[in-house]
């Protein structure tokens, strides 16, 4: 037998329902914030991710599904969604047109990681990207959007917030940090020493206790911001407080992708292993320029759907009942319920049973299929031109004329 690849999962039955449920909530919230659907290919030129996510990042350096296609092109399955949406934005020349564009997307991302709970090789993200808006109010809106989505899903998570500065203050801070780290170089782990050469800021993110201890007195970016970044960061904090969003400033939050500047954030939850990020994002004002377009401020986030699903499953998430189950107790009424079901399908989700069964068998099936309304015709109903109606949510039950049925559906 052939099984799914390690770290890749099917979304069947309850998992499929749960995924759809999450996406529908994300979509409805994102639409209210003025975002529109977009979809970009799952495969792109490898160079796109090398240049945007960064060659020194683990995502590009270790985790990409990269190969040479039959035409000799160096391609890879997308490890994240931002780079593809930026590429599409530039290819459509929207950078030249100016104005604000806001997109949301969802779908598979691929990272060759070590699979574990909440960490897959193919996983799904819901994400948004906003182009052309430099106001810090949009940074706040993106965070408020995630917070609203999590509230609607009944998930509690802690917001960790940082500012990574801009192309003026970040390089100066980086030099300060390198100076500090070089003095402690011999005591840092192998990974940190490698990062010192490639991307020293990522050292702040090292999970090893000994490294964290050494980094206790390291200079912090939040204390080295220039006036503009400092002003934006304090404004953002004020807007969040004013709108009831709690957060922790974490000056060591650096994110695993190189394109960020200024605002960077993660929502972390303890519900699937220690401090796992359920969503993350930030500003990337330099990326369009870096990929050959006109300078365009941008901000976005992505949420890990499987991590959200894991949390909801622990809470014994019960998918909502919906739709109609229509059936007959005798073979001879099946044509009638089939036509009735066919008409009802113009407005409702309808499951038509093609077989006559006992009332209990039908009721059990309707229950299993999570139908909300049960409709059935037996001998008595047929004789009186009626139908047996039962609402499986509130248990309301009655016999209705076929005309009367229209009134309750």
Give dist(CA 355, CA 327) in Å, integer: 8
Compute the least distance from the CB of residue 201 to ligand HAM, in Å.
15
Q: Which residue has the tokens 């000799």?
A: 72
For residue 176, CA distances in Å to 136, 218, 221, 231 come to 27, 9, 10, 22
Q: Which is nearer to ligand HAM, 127 or 165 (CB)?
A: 127
Compute the least distance from the CB of residue 399 to ligand HAM, in Å.
51
Q: Which is nearer to ligand HAM, 112 or 338 (CB)?
A: 112
Only one of the segments 78-86, 181-189, 238-246, 388-396 lies at the binding site for ligand HAM (rule: CB under 6 A); that segment is 78-86
Q: Which residue has the tokens 């004789």?
A: 383
Copy the structure tokens of residue 372. 């909300």
Q: Which is nearer to ligand HAM, 89 or 301 (CB)?
A: 301
- Exactly one of 9, 17, 42, 119 binds ligand HAM (CB under 6 A); that residue is 119
Size of site (CB under 6 A) for ligand HAM: 26
Compute the least distance from the CB of residue 53 to ligand HAM, in Å.
8
Compute the least distance from the CB of residue 380 to ligand HAM, in Å.
54
**Residue 307 interacting with ligand HAM (CB under 6 A):** yes
Only one of the segments 195-203, 300-308, 320-328, 378-386 lies at the binding site for ligand HAM (rule: CB under 6 A); that segment is 300-308
Point out the residue whose Cβ comes nearest to ligand HAM. 304
Residues 164 and 264: beta-carbon distance below 8 Å: yes
Q: Which residue, 361, 360, 385, 389, is CA-closest to 374?
A: 389
For residue 160, CA distances in Å to 57, 151, 202 come to 21, 17, 16
Residues 391 and 372: beta-carbon distance below 8 Å: yes
129 is in an annotated binding site: yes
Compute the least distance from the CB of residue 267 to ligand HAM, in Å.
8
- Exactly one of 300, 311, 329, 375 binds ligand HAM (CB under 6 A); that residue is 300
Q: H helices then E strands: how many in the chain?
A: 16, 16
Give dist(CA 169, CA 177) in Å, integer: 12
323 is in an annotated binding site: no
Give dist(CA 40, CA 106) in Å, integer: 10
Q: Which residue, 259, 267, 293, is CA-closest to 126?
A: 267
**Residue 50 interacting with ligand HAM (CB under 6 A):** no
Only one of the segments 110-118, 218-226, 322-330, 357-365 lies at the binding site for ligand HAM (rule: CB under 6 A); that segment is 110-118
**Residue 106 interacting with ligand HAM (CB under 6 A):** no
Rg (C-alpha) for the chain, rounded Å, is 27
Only one of the segments 189-197, 288-296, 297-305, 347-355 lies at the binding site for ligand HAM (rule: CB under 6 A); that segment is 297-305
Q: Which residue, 53, 81, 32, 104, is CA-closest to 290?
A: 53
Residues 172 and 224: beta-carbon distance below 8 Å: yes
Cβ density class 47-77: b for 16+ within 10 Å, e for less: ebbbbbbbebbbbbeebbeeeeeeeeeebbb
- Exactly one of 306, 310, 381, 386 binds ligand HAM (CB under 6 A); that residue is 306
Compute the least distance from the CB of residue 124 to ligand HAM, in Å.
8
- Exactly one of 40, 57, 125, 147 binds ligand HAM (CB under 6 A); that residue is 125
Copy the structure tokens of residue 379. 């001998």
Compute the least distance from the CB of residue 349 to ligand HAM, in Å.
30
Give dist(CA 381, CA 359) in Å, integer: 13
- Exactly one of 256, 319, 323, 359 binds ligand HAM (CB under 6 A); that residue is 256
Copy the structure tokens of residue 16. 């499929």
Compute the least distance from the CB of residue 80 to ligand HAM, in Å.
3
117 is in an annotated binding site: no
**Residue 279 interacting with ligand HAM (CB under 6 A):** yes
Give dist(CA 13, CA 83) in Å, integer: 32
Residues lying near ligand HAM in the complex (CB under 6 A) are found at 80-82, 111, 113, 118-120, 123, 125, 127, 129, 256-257, 277-282, 300-302, 304, 306-307
- Binding residues, as ranges, are 80-82, 111, 125, 129, 255, 259-260
- Binding residues for L-histidine, as ranges, are 80-82, 111, 125, 129, 255, 259-260
């Amino acid at each position: 037998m052939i099984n799914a690849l390690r770290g890749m999962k099917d979304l069947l039955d309850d998992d499929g329902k749960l995924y759809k449920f999450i996406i529908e909530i994300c979509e409805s919230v994102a639409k209210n914030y003025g975002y529109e659907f977009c979809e970009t290919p799952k495969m792109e030129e490898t160079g796109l991710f090398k240049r945007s996510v960064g060659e020194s990042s683990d995502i590009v350096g270790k985790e990409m599904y990269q190969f040479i296609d039959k035409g000799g092109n160096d391609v890879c399955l997308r490890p994240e969604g931002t780079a593809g949406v930026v590429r599409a934005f530039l290819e459509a020349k929207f950078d030249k047109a100016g104005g604000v564009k806001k997109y949301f997307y969802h779908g598979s991302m691929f990272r060759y990681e070590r699979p574990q709970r909440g960490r897959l090789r193919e996983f799904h993200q819901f994400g948004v990207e906003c182009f052309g808006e430099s106001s810090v109010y949009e940074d706040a809106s993106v965070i408020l959007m995630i917070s609203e989505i999590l509230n609607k899903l009944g998930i509690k998570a802690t917001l960790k917030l940082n500012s990574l500065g801009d192309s003026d203050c970040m390089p100066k801070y980086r030099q300060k940090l390198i100076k500090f780290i070089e003095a402690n170089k011999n005591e840092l782990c192998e990974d940190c020493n490698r990062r010192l050469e490639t991307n020293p800021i990522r050292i702040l993110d090292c999970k090893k206790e000994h490294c964290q201890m050494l980094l206790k007195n390291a200079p912090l970016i939040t204390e080295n911001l220039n006036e503009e970044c400092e002003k934006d960061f304090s404004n953002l904090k004020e807007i969040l407080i004013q709108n009831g969003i709690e957060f922790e400033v974490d000056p060591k939050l650096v994110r695993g992708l190189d394109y960020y500047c200024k605002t960077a954030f993660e929502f972390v939850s303890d519900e699937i292993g220690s401090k796992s990020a359920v969503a993350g994002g930030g500003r990337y004002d330099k990326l369009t320029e870096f990929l050959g377009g006109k300078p365009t401020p941008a901000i976005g986030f992505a949420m890990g759907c499987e991590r959200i699903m894991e949390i909801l499953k622990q809470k014994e998430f019960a998918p909502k009942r919906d739709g109609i189950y229509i059936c007959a107790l005798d073979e001879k009424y099946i044509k009638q319920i089939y036509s009735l079901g066919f008409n009802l399908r113009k407005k409702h989700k309808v499951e038509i049973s093609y077989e006559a069964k006992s009332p209990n068998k039908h009721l059990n099936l309707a229950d299993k299929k999570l139908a909300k309304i049960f409709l059935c015709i037996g001998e008595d109903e047929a004789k009186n031109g009626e139908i047996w109606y039962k609402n499986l949510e509130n248990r309301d039950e009655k016999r209705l004329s076929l005309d009367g049925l229209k009134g309750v559906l």
